[in-house]
Structures are given as C-alpha cells and as structure tokens.
Amino acid sequence: MIITPEQDIEQYTRAGWWGRETLYDVFRAAASTAPDAIALVDPPNRRDFTDGAPMRLTWRDVSDRVDRLCCELLDAGLRPDDIIVAQLPTTCEFPLVYLACWRLGIIISPVPMQYREHELRQIADHLGASAYIGVRRLGKTCHASVAAALAEGHATLTRVLLFGDNVPPGMTSLDDCLCQPADRERLARHETRHPVDANAVATIIWTSGTESRPKAVPRTHNQWLVSRRLMTDAASLRTGCHILSPRLLSTMGGISGSVVTWLDRAARLVLHQPMTLDVFLRQIRDEQIEFTSAPPAMLHELLKHEALLQGIDFSRLRHISSGSAALSEDVVRTFRERHGVEILNFFGSSEGASLAATALDLPNPGLRGRYFPRYGSPQCVSTQGSARYVQTRLIDPGTGETIETAGQTGELCFRGPNVFSGYFNMPEVTTRTFTHDGFYRTGDLFRIAGERGEYLEFVGRAKDIIVRGGINISAEELESLLISHPAVESAAVVGYPDDKLGEKVCAVIVPAPSAANDPLTLQALCEYLLQVRQVAIFKLPQRLLIVAELPRNPAGKILKAPLRELAQQAADATP
C-alpha cells in the first residue's frame, strides 16, 4: 500500500534521503553480521506478567523464528497490504511479529496493552483489520477474552492469533507454530512474487490529540529508516552495543528509538516491560547496558537515592535518553559530573516530528534541558543528520503567519522525509493538520531562543491532551464518555502536575438534576468507565471535582485554565 504522494517520493529519493532498502533488509544485514551473537533478551520477570520462560535469542534464532512466524501468517490467509492489529507486551515476540510483517508486506498496527474492547473495536473498524495478534494474558487480565469479544461478529477481523499457554479453541496458537519447521522455499517464492516497496506503509501507529478518537498514523519503511541514525549518532552507539529498552514497542519512540536502532547497530536489545525499577536497574547491571531511556521523573528519583545506582558500570553506560516532560539542569549536570553519563533530551510525535538536544550540540547542561536546535534555520548548528533534511517553522496558531521574532510563542511545524503524509482514512483531520505548503502542525508551542535565534524552547501544548506517564490521553474522548453517564449533566477533563507521572487526570463534572441527592463518587465513575464503557485503565481519572457549572467563554466553549487551577489546588490540599 503506497499512499505517499508521488512528488514526495521523487523529491526525497532524488535528494538521497529515501531508497529501496526495507526494514527487513536492514534486519537481514544485521543478522549476517554475527549470527551467533545475542540479539534479543526477554525481561527476567516475564513470567510475572505473561506466559512463557524468559528467552535469550541469537540473530540466528530470531531469523529462524521469523521464518516460522511468516509461514503461519501465510497459512492464516494474510497477504500483502492486509492490516493486523498487534497488542503485545515488551517481550521477544513483539520484534519477531514486526519483522515477519515487514518481510511479507503485511501492515502491522501496534496498540498499547492497556487498550480494551472500546478502543480496539474503534481501531479494528477504522482500519478494516483482518487479524488480531496478541497474548493469552497480561498479568491477571485474560486478553484471549478481550480478543474473542473483539472478533465476535466483526465484519473483517476474523482471525485471532495468540502467544501463550492454553490458547482457546478457534484461535491460533503462535507458540505451537514456532515449534513447526519453516517452509523456506515457500517464503522465497512469496518474496519473489510480492517484493516489498520501501515506500509502502509498514506500520499504522496511534496517537491521541484533540479528536475524540485516536488517530491512525501510517509510516513507510523509508520514513522509519531515514531517522535510523538518530539515536546512533546522538549516543555514539557502536555495532553490537547493548541497549535496554523500557519503551512501549507500540509507540513512535519504541519503534524508532529501540527496534530501528537495534537493527541499525546489529545490537543486543534487552527488553523491559515498563516499569519495574528494581528489575530495570538489575538489567542495567547484569546485561552491561551501554544505552537506555528513562523519563525525567525517574532520573530525578535515582539521584535522590544514590544507593539504587550501586554496582552499575558507568564506564559502559554513557548515555540515557529522556523526554516527554521538562528536564531540569540539575539532573543533566549531576549525571554528568557524578557518573559521567550524558542525558539526551528528545522531543517527538507519532507523526514524525523530532528534535534532539545532544551533548555534542548543547554541551551546557542548562541549555540541554530547555532548548533544541532549530532545524532548518540558517542559524542552526547541529551534528544530527536530521538537521540537514528537517525544516521547522513557528506559526501563529490563530492566523497561520510565520513567526521569526525571538521570544514570541508559536505552534511548531515540521516538513521533511521523516514526517508522515497524512492520517489513515481521515482526510478532514489531515487537511486541518497541514499548512497550505505542506508543513505538519504539531499542536505544540515553542518559541525562538538563543543569542542568534539558533534554538527552540518548548512552552506547552496547544492540543487538549494530557500526558500521563508518557502516554497521550485525549481530554475530548474522556469527556464524551463521561457525559454518557446518567448522573452527569456536563463534564470537562484536565490534567494536573504529578512528580512521577508528569500529569494525572482530573474529571470535573456538573451532576444531572436526577443525581442531586446521590452524588457520583470517583470510584463509581471509574467502575462505569472500566466495566460499562470498557476503557483502558490508564485513562481513568485520579481525581473528581463536582461543580455547579463549568466556566465558559461567550461562545460557550469550556475554559480549561481555571479548571486546571482548581485541580492543582485540590491536589496541593491533599496530604
């Protein structure tokens, strides 16, 4: 499936940013480098959250298992351009499924493990998905039951394939298929008849913004691979290095920062199911990790409790990437001065926007925590390859006029070969998301900074989203669910600051007249969202405020700023 405009393909190919190599081609090259080297390592606590013993797979093992998985996908009737929904924890199976799909030309749409029937049905309907790949269980949740409810009566999603023990009848056991020999001649014939184009869609990932439903972001092999050196260059990663990934592999950061970097460096990818701190630190020690990622709150917590870092070989662990929240100068400076570790600051979106503040470009810790190179401007000086092909622009959110004045806040826009071409089957939303000359509007507010205007400084979000633990939550989606409750007259959802998660969710409701004598509780509201609306647990509000009316402007739009202040005051008043 090729949906990228022909003029973009011609432009970026002629410029040398795009080519013919696919993600599976990069895997083949990596696997041939050292076939018997360890390629993938499971979390040591795997049995705590899903079936199966922890695995350590060589590149040869990975290649063999991908062959067998490809045969099973073909046996299930899946063909190039079919779309599968993949809901998998951070274990070795997830990269195997990616590789099998990329080899066969099947489009994989990864979704968070937290999604339940509400979100999954929206996604499967929107995509016209043919199959669901998942696990029998995650923790105490039976995902086989979730998958069965999703597939029951669905118009297109008729096949369910699961990893794990005791897969129910009517569903395919992928563990069983991995015990069967692969028909490699069949696979060779398939690849000859159905070569995969590097401009074809490889993945459709999901992002939440101002829309009431998640938005589908298609990304091609070329769009992933153009940024393959982003982490490699920023962290000076060697071939065969050891990377610890605590990222969700269903996200932009997980695919680009972990999976693609793993392939590019023929690295050892050590997987961590987010987030168990003692296991995470043990993996750093035991696996001799050279590069990993951690949110700002965790970095701050580690510096407050230095004993947690005992035994870590900081002669090997030299770089940690971070992002999704403000990064303090003290954290960047202390990790460098005390441990010799450089903290790298990243900004990005599922649509492909990305900025990197590295030790090479911003050696001053105070600047690195606040600023990013202003890609595409004449003043920008950066060692990052993306600085050569990404254009950025600030515009007035209301008028769309370009902003060139330092200190003036504007919406950040991107254009380049790493940026997606538009949302899948959402033409109206796509039109609103791009400027007339093809710049993607991120919905994030920045301002020009630096003596020469060489930097961009993050200010805030224009979109009405809450970022809880690095995961975007659409306020509009939650509001639409809350007002369906019979005891709710009207509702608004806002975020309030939290030291560990970045933000938490607060629901502000006006009770329905019929509920005046029986006020709704937070527990009852959450039970309704979970049990009746089948909403993912990470979206549940942590605080409930009941008000007589919601503040509105003259046009009737709800004013979120005073509600955020109320939520903050309520949080401050709670011991």
Backbone angles phi, psi at 296, to 5 degrees: -55, -40
Task: Name the nearest CA neighbour of 350 among 252, 444, 416, 267.
Answer: 252
Confidence of residue 408 (pLDDT cuts 50, 70, 90): confident
Percent of the chain exceeding pLDDT 90 equals: 66
Measured CA to CA, the distance from residue 343 to residue 368 in angstroms comes to: 9
| CA angle centred on 179, ends 175 and 182, rounded to 5° | 115
Residue 129 to residues 23, 124, 157, 302, Cα–Cα distance (Å): 22, 5, 5, 42
Contact 496, 565 (CB under 8 A): no
Give the pTM: 0.83
Lowest mean pLDDT among 77-86, 319-328, 375-384: 319-328
Measured CA to CA, the distance from residue 161 to residue 55 in angstroms comes to: 20
**Residues with Cβ < 8 Å from 102, sequence gap 6 or more?**
22, 23, 24, 27, 108, 196, 202, 221
Type of residue at 402: T
Give the model's pLDDT for residue 575: 62
For 190-245, write each residue's pLDDT tens digit: 999 999 999 999 999 998 654 457 899 999 999 999 988 888 888 889 999 999 99
Across 406-411, average pLDDT: 86
Across 367-372, average pLDDT: 88
Confidence of residue 553 (pLDDT cuts 50, 70, 90): low
Quote the tokens at residue 564.
């955020």
Task: Name the nearest CA neighbour of 198 among 226, 231, 233, 229.
Answer: 226
Which domains can be identified in the chain, with CATH numbers? Answer: 53-196 (3.40.50.980), 465-573 (3.30.300.30)
Across 92-99, average pLDDT: 98
Give the model's pLDDT for residue 135: 97
Q: What kind and span of H or E run contains 184?
A: helix 184-193
**Residues with Cβ < 8 Å from 39, sequence gap 6 or more?**
30, 31, 57, 58, 59, 61, 62, 262, 266, 268, 269
Contact 468, 504 (CB under 8 A): yes
Give the model's pLDDT for residue 18: 96
Residue 505 three-state SS: strand
Give the model's pLDDT for residue 366: 84
Percent of the chain exceeding pLDDT 70 equals: 97
State the alpha helices, DSSP H only, in 434-533: 475-482, 522-527
**Per-residue pLDDT at 297 exceeds 50:** yes
Give the model's pLDDT for residue 409: 81
Following DSSP, what letter does each residue of 90-143 receive, concatenated? SSTHHHHHHHHHHHHTPEEEE--TT--HHHHHHHHHHHT--EEEEESEETTEEH
